[in-house]
Structure 1
Amino acid sequence: MAPDANAQLIELLHRFAGKRLLVIGDVMLDRYVSGKVDRINPEAPVPILLAESERTSAGGAGNTAKNASALGAETTLVAVTGADASADDLKAAGEREGYRSVLIEDPGRRTTEKRRYLIHSQQMLRVDEEDTGAIGSAVEARVIEAIEAEVSRVDAILVSDYAKGVITKGVAAAIMRAKEAHGFLVLADIKPPSIGHFIGATAISPNLQEAHEYLGLNRLHADCSREELASRLHERFKVDVFLTLSEDGVFVWSRETPGRHVPQAHRVEVADTSGCGDTAAVVLILAKLCGASDTEAAELANAAGAVIASKVGATALTLQELIEALTHDSNLGTEA
């Protein structure tokens, strides 16, 4: 893409500031324990990690919220936690990471926590604690009440579903009712079981595996091109489709752009793909709020994904990092 086009993309980024985004979904605590190994456990043939430092950050829908905040959006997160220490850590993370948290405590479930043990930034073990059953009716009612309290003061909703139980049929229906009542954008970044609840949303951003599952297809045996997948999703679910293709970019099928491949122009050394999908979804919806074309939104999502993939852990993308990625790469472009 020509330098003038890059300048136009950067101008879009500057419009992100002040956009009001409501993130709804499954929040989790990411805990990183770093240390060194200099001996083997005499009890079993495994290394002993001598812990030297520990840090926490919000993951899942929390990662989505912190990325939106880091890019300048006024962000509110609605999610469910347990009544435990991990929930307290998530509240602190929200304050530290710059977004407002509406965390509904459910004493009957654990806060989802993923503990990663690292040596020199290399992950050696991950331990998960979680409850993945659907939230109960009483908690669901509180989530819906929280959504209804927030929707009058937001520009868009981003649904961040990790199949941990928050995005029930009732919660999804409340989101779609709010969309109809207020006319704002809804981007559904959702796991396959939830897709039927979001027919008529503004957009979806599945990866290839999710796209196949949305359509009830086995990826190993289905012979579907990217174009066919995207067009079928658009037709069946009445949404604009941003099919994310990792290092191959994004394939767009929408009312505005019925079939266009936007290749990944940013080549980086991949360190960790954690959080790439979250970040891409944030950039897509903020770009659309700022008047970007679907192609421009996909170009920005590509740049964001490349930056995040070059970093270790589900870390936030800053506006300056994204601007630098666009400034230093003049080869952005599209293919029909």
Structure 2
Amino acid sequence: MPRLAYASTKSSDMRYLVRVEIPDPFFLLDTGDRTTIFLDHREFGVFREQNENLAIELVLVNPFMEAAREIPGDGPAAGKLALHILRTYGVLGDAIEVPTSFPLNVADFLRAQGVRLTPTHPFVPQRLRKTNEEVAAIRESLRRTHEAFRTIETMLREAAIVGDAVEYRGASLTSEMLKCAAEEALFARDLFNIEGIIVSCGPHAAIPHHQGHGPIIPHAPIVCDIFPRHRASGYFADMTRTYVKGLPSSELARMYSAVREAQETAIAAVAPGVLGREVHEQAASVLRRLGYDVGDRGFTHGTGHGLGLDVHEEPFLNATATTELEPGHVVTVEPGLYYPERGGIRIEDVV
């Protein structure tokens, strides 16, 4: 079945397929016999110079755009261009697979012209199974990300508890200061954050995706979740550590030990043939056995997710995940415990 996509390489599917950064949306048509991308004169030369995939046919889109303007009636320019491309390549009568992110106005126009579109997810299923080169790229992103954690750890060690506050070089240490220092460490290593960094302390740490703000609290949990993308390769890292500046309470220490045991048990369960929900249940069963809640309180989220050109992608490790793990899958394992009166604990690594 022919496949049609329209996006820039901000779409991870497009980035995976063409491997050259193209900032503006473009059409990609895969007829089964060949894969063709349609670029205007601004991107044409850049792609031709940088492209290493000889299986991709490069076509200048400008003549197609001129012909598409002659199509009568109202409709989006991209819709008319898609119609002309499908007609020119002889697949107008076929059912066409498109990604679920395909622009709705283009899809509506094509369907009004009688084109049969089949939304498909995942559109590029081979992304789930990483090659050795992709695994190496993820490992490198993780290695560089670890240096940002070292920066945070150094600042916490150098900070001092003064009464009910934590001070660093004469000023109150805040989540913002730790995030800024981590950002600088990432930038120096060619990593950048799309969605920011989590450094949440005390009650904020009890909310899994709270970004964190304000002063660091002595003796309270500090959840640090860093998930940057490598600028050159495009592959993400994703790591979480939980720190305490001062002395954790006995209950907080027990929570940490429980999360660590749950993570180690889940990591040991990751293997080809295992379902994502089975890995999740391994983590959840440890926490239940140790007296913690699973569901609306305590362990409130899935155990992990796939990692690659997206920070969250398939396969998932949660209570409903039926995907069978295969060689080449890369997943995070990140159990946690969250109680408003105690704070939160999360530990995350990549398998």
- What's the TM-score once normalised by structure 2's chain length? 0.25
TM-score where L is the length of structure 1 = 0.26
Greater RCO (CA < 8 Å, at least 6 residues apart): 1
Max radius of gyration: which structure? Answer: 2
